[in-house]
């Protein structure tokens, strides 16, 4: 048990990852009771790496036939976290009811997870369901996480200082971390099973959304182009999920998710390289060394500036 960035402040080392206690039972229930269907789609991520954006994009792609209109789309009136749930969170309570509602979801089901690859329920790894993973450069991820968990901290779980949180992060202590094993688990899987896991980076999506959203559409084998100009559809999808647009929607300006997190906290700056305003030279050196050491030989690297 240790303190680190995560909901509730305290984290427990469980199955080699730092689990926030609020979803501990949910993780176990997810692992023991979830039955994947071959046409399920999962979005997976390390927290604060672009989960909200990926949920939005994938929701639009997967449901394009159900909701073809970009003017009257569910994303204009619901937050992506209301449209795409995390089983490890919702299965913490009312297990029987939640299992029933999961099995009654319209297909293809779209769900999300922060679990590291080795902790996914076996039925996900063994079935033909697909996983789209997003990660982000560890500098921006840390700043985004620190800002977010500071905002949602409370008297019962006070915020860590930037320096305290950074030390923990360098030791891998953040909810669902270590971040390096989280990324590498999905990275390696995307190399050995490219039809199972599509690996995306926040920075790439920012820089060439058209190219990477096309990759998502192809990976999911969605009939998005039937009778339509596929580039126009893809541009509409990207536009609907744009940071500025989503941040400005009334639905994302007030209200809470899971009774605790204000929706507006999911939209901060949405930039590459904001970390430069936070890190001291010694912190830059320390985190750069850790990135080099942990990712060396993997082929995984990140863009740190826009």
The answer to whether 111 and 251 are in contact (CB under 8 A) is no
Report, as residue numbers or ranges, the catalytic residues.
114
Query: What phi and psi, each to the nearest 5 degrees, are found at residue 111?
Result: -135, 170
Pairing between β-strand 130-135 and β-strand 197-201 as defined by DSSP bridges: parallel
Q: C-beta of 97: minimal distance to ligand A3P in Å?
A: 27
Alpha carbon distance 228, 127 (integer Å): 32
C-alpha dihedral (23, 131, 200, 53), degrees to nearest 10: -60
Alpha carbon distance 279, 47 (integer Å): 20
Alpha carbon distance 247, 137 (integer Å): 22
- Which one, of 59, 58, 219, 198, lies nearest residue 134 by Cα? 198
Task: Give the residues lining the site for ligand A3P (CB under 6 A).
Answer: 45, 47-53, 56, 140, 144, 147, 241, 243, 246, 266-270, 274
Alpha carbon distance 44, 58 (integer Å): 11
CA atoms within 13 A on the CB side of 277: 9
Alpha carbon distance 127, 283 (integer Å): 42
The answer to whether 62 and 108 are in contact (CB under 8 A) is yes
Q: C-beta of 179: minimal distance to ligand A3P in Å?
A: 12
Instruction: Report H helices in the chain.
Output: 24-33, 51-62, 80-83, 87-90, 95-103, 122-126, 138-151, 162-170, 179-192, 202-207, 209-220, 230-240, 243-248, 281-295
Compute how many other C-beta atoms are within 10 angstroms of the C-beta atom of residue 190: 20
Alpha carbon distance 256, 79 (integer Å): 10
Q: C-beta of 226: minimal distance to ligand A3P in Å?
A: 26
Which residue's CB is nearer to ligand A3P, number 51 or number 190? 51
């Amino acid at each position: 048990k240790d303190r680190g960035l995560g909901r509730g402040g305290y984290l427990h080392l469980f199955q080699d990852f730092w689990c926030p206690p609020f979803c501990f039972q949910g993780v176990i229930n997810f692992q023991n009771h979830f039955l994947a269907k071959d046409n399920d789609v999962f979005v997976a991520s390390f927290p604060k790496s672009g989960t909200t954006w990926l949920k939005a994009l994938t929701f639009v792609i997967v449901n394009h036939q159900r909701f073809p209109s970009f003017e009257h789309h569910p994303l204009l009136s619901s937050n992506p976290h209301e449209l795409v749930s995390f089983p490890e969170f919702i299965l913490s309570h009312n297990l029987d009811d939640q299992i029933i509602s999961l099995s009654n979801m319209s297909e293809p089901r779209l769900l999300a997870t922060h679990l590291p690859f080795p902790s996914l329920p076996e039925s996900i790894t063994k079935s033909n369901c697909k996983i789209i993973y997003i990660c982000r450069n560890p500098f921006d991820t840390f700043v985004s996480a620190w800002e977010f968990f500071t905002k949602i901290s409370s008297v019962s779980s006070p915020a860590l200082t930037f320096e305290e949180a950074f030390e923990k992060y360098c030791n891998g202590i953040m909810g669902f971390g270590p971040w390096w094993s989280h990324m590498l688990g999905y990275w390696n899987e995307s190399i050995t099973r490219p039809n199972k896991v599509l690996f995306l980076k926040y920075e790439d999506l920012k820089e060439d959304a058209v190219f990477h959203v096309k990759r998502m559409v192809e990976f999911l084998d969605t009939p998005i182009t039937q009778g339509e100009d596929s580039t126009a559809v893809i541009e509409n999808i990207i536009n609907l999920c744009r940071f500025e647009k989503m941040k400005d929607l009334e639905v994302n300006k007030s209200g809470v998710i899971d009774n605790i997190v204000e929706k507006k906290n999911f939209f901060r700056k949405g930039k590459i390289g904001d970390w430069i305003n936070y890190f001291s030279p010694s912190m830059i050196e320390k985190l750069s060394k850790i990135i080099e050491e942990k990712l060396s030989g993997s082929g995984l690297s990140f863009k740190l500036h826009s």
